[in-house]
Amino acid sequence: MEEMPKTYNPQEAEPQLIQKWVDAGCYRRSKGVGDCTVVIPPPNVTGILHMGHAMDDSIQDTFIRYNRMRGRSTRWILGTDHAGIATQTKVDKKLKSEGKSRLKMGREKFLDACWDWTHEYGGTIVSQIKRMGCSIDFDDEKFTMSPEFSRAVRKVFCDWYHDGLIYRGKRIVNWCPVCGTAISDDEAEYHDEKGHLWFLRYPLTEPVDGIEYITVATTRPETMLGDTGVAVSPEDPEKAKLVGKTVMLPIVNREIPIFSDWHVDKNFGTGFVKVTPAHDPNDFAMGQTHNLEQINILDEHAHIVDGYGEFSGMDRDEAREAIVKWFDEHGLLDHIEDLEHSVMHCYRCDTALEPWLSEQWFVAVDKLKGPATKVVQDGEVKFYPERWTQTYLTWMDNLKDWCISRQLWWGHRIPVFYCEDCGWEDALMEDTDVCPKCGGHHVHQDPDVLDTWFSSQLWTFATQGWPDHPEDMEGHHPTKVLVTARDIIALWVARMIMSSLYFTHEVPFHDVYIYATILAKDGSRMSKSKGNGVDPMALMDKYGADAMRYNLLTLITTNQDVKFDANLDKKTRALIDSPRTEQARSFVTKIWNASRFVQMNLDGYTPGAPKAETAEDAWMLSRLARAVEAATRQLEGYEFGDYARDLQSFFWGEVCDWYIELCKGRLLHGTPEERLQVQRNLVYVLDVSMRLLHPVMPFVTESVWDALPASGLDDHSSQFLMTAAWPEPADLATFVNDKAEHDFELARRVVSAVRSTRARYRLSPKAELDVCVRAAAEDVAVLESQRGFICSVGHVDQLALGAQQDKPAGSVSVADGALEIFVVLGGLVDLAAEGKRLEKELAKAEKELAGTKRTLSNEGFVAKAAPEVIQKKRDRAEELEQSIEQLRAQIADLA
């Protein structure tokens, strides 16, 4: 047996293991009892790994590895999304840098350039996912623009079109004048911006009771060119006399009516609302109700169209300024107020979106949302955490028809064909240039492409052979669980459920796990523009994939937002350090060192079953059985954070700090029989522990397992840990021993109290101390039976036990549940001097805390200081408060 290296190098070991797993076919679809098929949320083909991906993929791989070890049929489907807007934007920029134009080169050549781009950059994120250790079948990669996937997308469109669920209509959409395409409501990002509320006077065509004009309040004066009405609230009796009258719209001299409508809030502005049906969704609705003309005053680039004199050709901002100036010059600008309001922006280029009337393709959702709501209400699809169920249901209740057309070239082109000769129109599975109705050759295809969410909604079944080979789905659909972010519950999760129910007559997945949103250290969202995003690749380069993966899982709690502890260089934004990931790496090191110690003491070892020869053996095997039960239950219930944190507490706190330490005596000085049995116990405990830890920390556990001999669990017939069996709770149930755990825990608490006292007062770990324990009679009896253990392990000279023990002179007390433990320090510590030293430390800490709190209460400091500086101050205040509490307790104890 080759000795394990003294140090573990993840940067060297991890890539080697990945290659071994891939070469051995470990990532391929496995067969077993029960199915665990998972689809990876497809990242953008030209994207790179970010912390959200890292969290998502760590969770999925943990779940897949666990199920593979349980002997279930596992399939993890990899794929990327063509990312219509994102890819087209990048290719546009590349062409522009080369002095080329998309419009001049034409659609076909531009699409060739997009394919070249995806071939060049499309593998980046896939290789990064592989570097994380994700055990996906990389030989079975999917792409939303592949021929087979494109055929599935086309079938869905054609079927819905012919079933009356897809239609073309002129509606208000969110238009990006830079990207030149419609954006769905769910893709718009809202930014709070400082703006103004302009109060403009519209003259009445005929005065009413001496009133010559009304005043409207608007945040967008430029759109008044398209006004075709003025609305008031039906709950505003003061304005009732003006309903039915008309005003003369300034600049354009258009006579428009005043009417009442429930959309109007009588308390907003003046209570008079200008209505521009072509540039506001509420105005569009009012326009339809009151038969108002729809006048679109902007072109696709958000410039004023011809016909508006000096304002024609101006962009939105120029027109706003010019129109306000015109109102002011003509005495029609009443006044201006400052206003902070929320403005929609394009999620790609951050341009303010324009509500714009245009002809688009829509999915009518009324027939789809009912079944998709019911399967969640009935529990056929479950959300974890459960609270996201209501988010989904609320969105479904308010669901509107979905705009699916995009004015792009890169993507799935809408398969609708038109005849210019006879007006024929139809959606077809195959392209045609001949009209089937009149035989004419003037046939053209719709120029728009489909929203990328339209294609990705088919992800669970179009990646598994549908529609041409539905037999490939058998046993793998519905999939087990979808792991995704809360941001796309509406964009993706709901649409997947609707489409899957319609075309496969079953849900796409049984469970939806919504993972935590990872925020920057200061609590803000990570973003490229802020430069506060942490690069997962940098974390892996510095700490290893195991440490990054493990740290991410430990961050998961019942709260959805988690702050990622990382320090970045202010100029380069490169990673400096990540303290929590550093702690995770320390855990990796602990696993390696503990395992190496055991391996170095296995001379003469032969495989055999574990046995409870001592109190610590019985305690350890019982604790191991409980760890197996807990880890199994937690992974079955998607409790990933508890799983990761509990296993560290178990392995580091119980296996390493206690059991291995307690076994050293028998390993070094025991009889041959004692030595062999403790070797078998240790190998068994390590074997089971590595299996439990493997799903989240695959690399170090695989390396340790490979270096260990066979245990009593099995004969190591599997070549790799990742394909070995998961320890089943039922198989370890006989080890559960409540009394052994209770008895050992009592003794362990006494020893821990003695050790912590030594550490607190800076005494040698081997200094012999006298200890007195006051406890209930039944606990005294247990401790009496453990006297030898407590004295030898705790380095206790005299141990007094009893229900009526008094506190000895010169001792300090440590309360631990029902036990009162008194550790006699005697002449080892000058208690008076120690008290004075602690008093000084306390005064210093209290002074610093007061100063820190004064700084944090200074509004000027909070307003001007960088968020990370403020957070650092808050963290320090929390540390000081904890220190002060501990110091006061120590002083009280000495008194």
Q: Is 130 annotated as a binding residue?
A: no
Q: What are 358's strand-pairing partners? A: 171
State the Cα–Cα distance between residues 727 and 70, nearest whole angstrom.
Answer: 8
State the Cα–Cα distance between residues 140 and 29, nearest whole angstrom.
Answer: 10
Give residues with Cβ within 8 angstroms of 227, minimum separation 6. Answer: 249, 254, 256, 274, 275, 276
State the Cα–Cα distance between residues 315 and 222, nearest whole angstrom.
Answer: 10
DSSP assignment of 299-335 equals -TTSBBPTTSGGGTT-BHHHHHHHHHHHHHHTT-EEE
DSSP assignment of 636-649 equals HTT-HHHHHHHHHH
Q: What is the 3-state secondary structure (H, E, C) of 517-560?
A: EEECCCCCECCCCCCCCCCHHHHHHHHCHHHHHHHHHHCCCCCC
State the Cα–Cα distance between residues 552 and 243, nearest whole angstrom.
Answer: 61
Nearest alpha-carbon partner for 466 in 416, 516, 510, 505: 505
Measured N-to-C along each axis, helices 640-650 and 672-693 cross at an angle, to the nearest 10 degrees, of 160
Q: Cα torsion for 102, 103, 107, 112, to the nearest 10°?
A: -20
Widest distance between CA atoms in the chain = 113
Query: Is the CB of residue 799 less than 8 Å from the CB of residue 771?
Result: yes
Which tokens go with 281? 């969704």
How far is residue 639 CA from its own chain's centroid? 15
Which tokens go with 205? 């065509």
State the Cα–Cα distance between residues 120 and 90, nearest whole angstrom.
Answer: 13
State the Cα–Cα distance between residues 187 and 322, nearest whole angstrom.
Answer: 31
Which tokens go with 814? 């440590």
State the Cα–Cα distance between residues 556 and 547, nearest whole angstrom.
Answer: 15
What single letter denotes the amino acid at residue 169?
G
H or E stretch at 436: none
User: How far, in Å, are 493, 605, 725 from residue 710 at the CA level?
Assistant: 45, 10, 13
State the Cα–Cα distance between residues 45 and 411, nearest whole angstrom.
Answer: 12
User: How far, in Å, are 666, 696, 722 from residue 16 at the CA level?
Assistant: 36, 18, 15
Binding residues for ATP, by number, are 528
Binding residues, by number, are 528
